[in-house]
Structure 1
Amino acid sequence: MENRNCLHNFINYLDDEDVYDALEKYWIDMFFMLLHKENIYGNDWICPYYNTTFGNGKKMMDGNPIFSAKSIKKDEIIRIIQESPKNGNVFSYWINSSMGNNQSQKELVIVCTLNNYNLEKINDIIISWIKGNLKDTNYK
C-alpha cells in the first residue's frame, strides 16, 4: 500500500481512469492490510463486491462505490462512497439492513472525502463493524 502522504495523487480520480484504478487499488490494499494487522482472515471477503462497470465494460468512475467487500461467512457488506474534495470534508456512515430470500443482510456504508483524518476514522469503523462492535446507528 502506498504511503498515506500520497493521497494528493488521487485528486483528479473522477477525470482520469488510471488514477481511478490506482485509487481503487489503494482502498483494497488498505482494507486487506487492516485485516492482516487485526489478524482477521482475509479469504472470507469478496472484494470488490459490487459491479462498477457498465455493460460495455467502461468504468462508472463516480466513486459509488470506490470500494466494496462482502464477508461470505457473515453475509455483511462494506461499501465506501468517495466524494470529491471539491465538496469539502465529507464524512458519514450508516448501516443498511435488508431482508431477501429468507436472509437478513447488513451493509456498512461510509461516505467520505479521502484524507488522513477520515482514514483513521474509517479504519476504526471497519474494524468495529467486522468485530461486531459497531452500533446500528448513523453518524454524520
Structure 2
Amino acid sequence: MNWNYFESDEAYEAAEQYWKNLFFSLMHEGDTYDWVTPYYNNQLADGTRMRDGNPIFSAVSRSSGRSIRIVIESDLEYADLTYWVDQKNGKNELVVVCGWTLPQLSKAEEVLGSWLGGGKHGGF
C-alpha cells in the first residue's frame, strides 16, 4: 500500500478503496445494501474530485440515518487516532480522525467494528 496517498491520484484512490473495503468487510451479512457510500459530496463545483482526506470515506445507513466519516490527516505521523459520535442537529455520525500508520489503521478497524456491531442504534 502506498502510504503517501497525497502523491498521486492512483495512491489516493487506493486509500479510498482501502476504507471502502474495510467498511464492507465489517458488515453483517445482508447489511451492505442498507449503506450508501460516499455520503458526503467529494467533488468541487467544476467536477474535480477533492483529495484532502476529509473525508477519505463516508457512508450513511438508509434505514437508521446513522453515518460514518473517516478523516485522514495529511501529517503521516499524526499522533493519535481520535473518534467521537456527533449527535448535534439530529445526527448520529461516527467521526474517526487518524493518520496513516498501521497502529492507527488497526485501531480504526476496531472502532468501526464496534460501531457497526451495535446494530441500528450504534455501538458505543
TM-score calculated relative to the size of structure 1: 0.77
Q: What's the counterpart of residue 128 of structure 1?
A: 114
The answer on whether the counterparts of 1:10 and 1:20 sit within 8 Å (CA) in structure 2 is no
Kindly indicate which of the two structures has a greater share of residues assigned to strand: 1
- Structure 1: 5+ residue stretches without partners: 1-5, 135-140
TM-score calculated relative to the size of structure 2: 0.86
* Percent identical: 37
Runs of 4+ in 1 over 6 A off after TM superposition: none
Read off the aligned partner of 2:58 and give its amino acid letter.
S
Q: Tell me which structure has the larger Cα radius of gyration.
A: 1
Q: State which of 37, 46, 51 in structure 2 corresponds to 1:56.
A: 46
Q: What's the counterpart of residue 66 of structure 2?
A: 76
Q: What's the counterpart of residue 10 of structure 2?
A: 18
Paired residue total: 120
What's the RMSD between the two structures over aligned residues?
A: 1.7
**What is the SS of the residue equivalent to 1:10?**
coil
Distance 2:36 2:115 in 1: 16
Read off the aligned partner of 1:83 and give its amino acid letter.
E
- Structure 2: 5+ residue stretches without partners: none
Distance 1:18 1:124 in 2: 27
Q: State which of 95, 98, 116 in structure 2 corresponds to 1:112.
A: 98
Distance 1:39 1:126 in 2: 16
Residues 92-107 of structure 1: pairs in structure 2 closer than 5 A: 92-99=82-89, 104-107=90-93
The CA deviation at 1:91 is 1.0
